[in-house]
């Protein structure tokens, strides 16, 4: 089986952790006999804004092709107008993908199924490609594609059209499935496959990193949605508590300035990127992992932390409550520094061993995820024959 994945969420040479949860899910399927795939991960292109925006400058420097973990990954540029709500990013992305496929066909590349990761605009672009080539389509709903884009009327109609064509839509949480049903999607189209972890990296026996002082950990892109600014505000009211933030993004400078203004320079450490093995050690050494997100599907940060035996303090959004409970963490009723402060003061009340906490997510493994997703691909291809 040859699978063509279309997504903007995939690690690349300039963003090694970007969309790593997509690669992890698909990489496990690479072990299945007869399974082959290519990835087309388009990047936005807007020449005028590219002169002013660091983000778009970075995209202009993206290589057109790279071999990522033994997989062919292509990065065609699609024209966009950021901030212009009526601009059709999905069609622009689909054109860039089709241009890439045309070039690949010179090498007689064929694919059996299109895999669209993230419903909009990626999934809608994947639908346009699948329809053009008369191939089956499987989509994956991941979070803000449902929680935000399904509330935007033009995007919603395009997403629903894509779902209608698709064989299945994989939801990474029950919460996303229920939200799609609320928007009128037929339940028979939907299947829940929660993300997983690699137990070779994330388990209760991973040694903690050698830092001597206790610390709390926050992992995620440095963007307002993730709420790192709330965590910093809470830390200002906690004497001697330390925080390590792992991630990168548009808020890096402002968050560092906030930490300085709050007098936290000696108690907050910012780390851009580390590999999976080292990340597991940071989880293992933390008192708790904090996630102050406003919107989520099923964050791997939660699964990874719990798998290493470290409790989680998180906002009750998306599918987090399907994983976090009083045996392994604390769910916040409100996304506020006050609720976070209270949780930090009571995190020791969880009183569970690393092994006990890790056992609460033992069923979530990438190998199990891969086998379930592969079956969905097989069923879709067989149904289209």
Are 283 and 308 within 8 A, CB to CB? yes
In a domain, 209, yes or no: no
278-328 confidence digits (pLDDT tens): 999 999 999 999 999 998 989 999 999 999 999 999 999 999 999 999 999
Q: What would the mean pLDDT of 143-160 be, rounded to a whole number?
A: 92
Instruction: Report the distance separating Cα 195 and Cα 199, nearest Å.
Output: 13
Q: What would the mean pLDDT of 257-269 be, rounded to a whole number?
A: 93
Backbone torsions φ then ψ of 365, nearest 5 degrees: -130, 140
Please, which pLDDT band fits residue 13 given cuts at 50, 70 and 90?
A: confident
Are 217 and 324 within 8 A, CB to CB? no
Instruction: Report the distance separating Cα 241 and Cα 234, nearest Å.
Output: 10
Q: What would the mean pLDDT of 102-117 be, rounded to a whole number?
A: 86
Q: Which residue has the higher pLDDT, 57 or 326?
A: 326
Q: What would the mean pLDDT of 3-7 be, rounded to a whole number?
A: 97
Q: Are residues 19 and 110 in the same domain?
A: yes
Are 282 and 246 within 8 A, CB to CB? yes
Q: Are residues 123 and 105 in the same domain?
A: yes
Rg (CA), the chain: 21
Q: Is the pLDDT of residue 47 over 80?
A: no
Please, which pLDDT band fits residue 48 given cuts at 50, 70 and 90?
A: low
Q: Are residues 180 and 32 in the same domain?
A: yes
Q: What would the mean pLDDT of 345-371 be, rounded to a whole number?
A: 94
Q: Are residues 233 and 279 in the same domain?
A: yes
Q: Which two tokens stand for residue 78?
A: 């699609």
**Residue 190: CATH number of its domain:** 3.40.50.2000
Q: Where are the alpha helices (H) located in 217-295, listed in sequence order?
A: 228-235, 252-261, 276-285
Residue with tokens 């400078």: 253
Q: Is the pLDDT of residue 161 over 70?
A: yes
How many structural domains comprise the chain? 2
Q: Are residues 125 and 225 in the same domain?
A: no
pTM for the complete prediction? 0.89
Q: Is the pLDDT of residue 145 over 90?
A: yes
Q: Are residues 372 and 345 in the same domain?
A: no
Please, which pLDDT band fits residue 84 given cuts at 50, 70 and 90?
A: low
In a domain, 208, yes or no: no
Q: Are residues 225 and 305 in the same domain?
A: yes
**In the prediction, which pLDDT does 334 show?**
94
In the chain, the percentage of residues whose pLDDT exceeds 70 is 96
In a domain, 232, yes or no: yes
C-alpha distances (whole Å) from 235 to each of 31, 227, 304, 337, 360 are 44, 13, 23, 9, 28
Are 147 and 118 within 8 A, CB to CB? no
Domain range for 326 is 216-359
191-231 confidence digits (pLDDT tens): 999 999 999 999 999 999 877 789 999 999 999 999 999 99
**In the prediction, which pLDDT does 52 show?**
56
In a domain, 202, yes or no: no
In a domain, 267, yes or no: yes
**In the prediction, which pLDDT does 257 show?**
96
Q: Are residues 128 and 85 in the same domain?
A: yes
Q: Are residues 353 and 268 in the same domain?
A: yes
């Amino acid at each position: 089986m040859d699978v063509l994945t279309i997504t903007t969420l995939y690690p690349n040479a300039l963003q090694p952790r970007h969309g790593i949860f997509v690669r992890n899910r698909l990489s496990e399927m690479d072990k299945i006999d007869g399974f082959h795939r290519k990835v087309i991960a388009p990047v936005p292109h807007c020449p005028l804004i590219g002169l002013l925006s660091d983000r778009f400058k970075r995209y202009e420097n993206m290589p057109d092709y790279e071999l990522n973990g033994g997989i062919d990954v292509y990065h065609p540029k699609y024209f966009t107008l950021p901030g212009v709500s009526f601009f059709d990013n999905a069609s622009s992305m689909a054109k860039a993908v089709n241009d890439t496929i045309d070039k690949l066909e010179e090498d007689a590349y064929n694919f059996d199924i299109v895999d669209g990761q993230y419903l909009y605009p990626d999934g809608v672009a994947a639908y346009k490609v699948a329809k053009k080539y008369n191939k089956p389509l499987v989509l994956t709903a991941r979070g803000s594609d449902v929680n935000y884009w399904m509330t935007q009327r033009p995007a919603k109609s395009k997403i629903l059209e894509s779902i209608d064509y698709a064989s299945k839509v994989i939801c990474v949480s029950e919460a996303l499935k229920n939200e799609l049903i609320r928007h009128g999607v037929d339940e028979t189209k939907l299947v829940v496959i929660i993300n997983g972890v690699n137990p070779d990296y994330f388990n209760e026996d991973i040694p903690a990193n050698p830092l001597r002082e206790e610390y709390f950990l926050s992992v995620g892109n440095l963007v307002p949605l993730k709420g790192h600014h709330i965590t910093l505000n809470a830390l200002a009211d906690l004497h001697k508590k330390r925080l390590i933030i792992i991630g990168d993004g548009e808020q890096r400078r402002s968050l560092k300035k906030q930490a300085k203004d709050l007098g936290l320079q000696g108690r907050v450490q910012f780390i851009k990127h580390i590999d999976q093995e080292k990340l597991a050690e940071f989880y293992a050494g933390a008192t708790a992992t904090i996630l102050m997100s406003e919107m989520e599907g099923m964050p791997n940060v939660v699964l990874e932390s719990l798998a290493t035996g470290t409790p989680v303090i998180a906002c009750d959004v998306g599918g987090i409550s399907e994983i976090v409970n009083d045996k392994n963490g604390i769910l916040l009723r409100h996304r506020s520094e006050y609720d976070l402060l209270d949780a930090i003061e009571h995190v020791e009340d969880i009183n569970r061993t690393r092994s006990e906490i890790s056992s609460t997510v033992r069923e979530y493994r990438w190998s199990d995820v891969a086998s379930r997703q592969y079956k969905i691909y097989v069923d879709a291809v067989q149904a289209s024959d």
